Structure 1
Amino acid sequence: MNIVMVTGGVRSGKSAYAERLAGERSAAGSSKARVLYVATGLRYDGEMDARIDAHRTRRPAEWDTLEAAHELSAAAYAGYDVVLLDTLSAWIGNRLMAVPEDRCRDAETTNTVREQVAAYLDQLRRLPGLRAAILVTDEVGWGGVAMTPLGRWFQDVVGEANQQVAAAADEVVAVVSGLPWRLKG
């Protein structure tokens, strides 16, 4: 089983690249390879609706979709050959947004996210039949320091999670202006 991390800034082309990669990895196997797209985005305004709809119309109709905005469990991926998670950073954002403002930077939540990412990576490795897991995430280290406490917490937690995933991944690709830049593997 191969874990591929695809990272990049907002609108860098990372999701489109990951979708092409999932198509290639599924085509490299049997003609009946099954692909699961794990969507973590939440519809909370018109702009997010448009982003989610664009992603949905861009991917092949034969791919299955699992909406997992709050919980990640590779157990739901049984029977799939390729899984594409888009995005780890949105999943983390959903988790942090659920924390009351007076608990911002809560160590327990930070540790729970860290543990959940580690457990998720372990689950992926143990899933029988899965050939490739492609995890898309935002690169939070290329921008400035966020202006709000929640924004800084998000950057810190996502940055740490990205390092966890990169260390465990077989391949890491950063996408810059639509161009993939292979960092590992």
Structure 2
Amino acid sequence: MENSNIILVTGAANSGKSEWGEYLVNNSQKPVIYIATAQKIDNDEEWMLKIKQHQQRRPKKWQTWEIPFDLPLAIEQISEDNCILIDSLGTWVANFLEEDEFNWQMQVEKLIFSLENTSNYIILVAEETGWGVIPAYPQGRLFRNRLGKLIRLVGSIANTVYLIVGGYAVDVSKIGVKLDNLPMLEAL
């Protein structure tokens, strides 16, 4: 079921997808709730710098919720008439890599249910990981596969999907063909 309030923004690392998501929510004329899914890793200077850069770009009037795990519950708890920016699905997936497939699928089902049943505007930022080499280690392949399937599933219920590439935000939902009735999607 497509939800006209959902926008998916996807692209490669450092493509500008977070900035595009921030632009969209800033122009929504609604109160903004920024959901950060990343976990702080104090001994990783590069990661902490990236988090700091994201924080510095946010207007002070935005609420920030740090939700590394229970994203579906957070979506359900936000009152109506807000604009929610979730950044990012990739870090949310990474937070669940230790979960077995059954528990992971339960998380995905809860997320999709919460997205389909909210009246808030939601912009989700997600990293494209499947365009490079196949990861040489099992956890890397698991991450790539889970994120790729999740992006496809979220894209199937989103009203608009942007691909950020080469400094452009491309509305692929206007120029592409939606693959929402394929048997593979039903099996996810």
Output the TM-score relative to the length of structure 2: 0.83
Q: Which runs of 5+ in 2 are unaligned?
A: 175-188
Consecutive unaligned residues in structure 1, runs of 5 or more = 28-32, 100-105
Q: Using the TM superposition, give the Cα deviation of residue 80 of structure 1 relative to its aligned residue in structure 2, in angstroms.
A: 5.0
Q: Distance in 2 between matches of 1:153 and 1:121?
A: 20
| CA shift for structure 1 position 89 | 1.1
Task: Pick one of 115, 136, 145 that aligns with 1:156.
Answer: 145
Task: Tell me the residue number matched to 1:35.
Answer: 32
Deviations 1:127-179 (A, max 9, x none): 34x1x100001111211111211001100111111111011111100101331
Identity percentage of aligned residues = 31
Residue of structure 1 equivalent to 2:88: 87
2:20 is matched by which residue type in structure 1?
A: Y
Q: Could you tell me whether the CA contact under 8 Å between 1:34 and 1:79 is conserved in 2?
A: no
CA RMSD of aligned residues (A): 1.6
SS in 2 for 1:95: coil
Count of residues in correspondence between the two structures = 167
**1:7–1:138 contact (8 Å) kept in structure 2:** yes
Q: Distance in 2 between matches of 1:172 and 1:8?
A: 11
Residue of structure 2 equivalent to 1:133: 122
2:168 aligned residue: 179
Contact 2:116 2:157 in 1 (8 A): no
The 8 Å contact of residues 85 and 122 in structure 2, kept in 1 or not, is answered as: yes
Matches within 5 A, 1:20-169: 20-25=23-28, 27=29, 33-44=30-41, 45-72=44-71, 73=73, 74-79=75-80, 81-96=82-97, 99=98, 109-128=100-119, 130=120, 132-169=121-158
1:4 aligns with 2:7: yes
Indicate the larger mover: 71-80 or 150-159: 71-80
SS in 2 for 1:75: helix
Q: Any conservation in 2 of the 1:174–1:182 contact (CA below 8 Å)?
A: yes
Q: Which runs of 4+ in 1 moved over 4 A?
A: none
Q: Distance in 1 between matches of 2:77 and 2:48?
A: 25
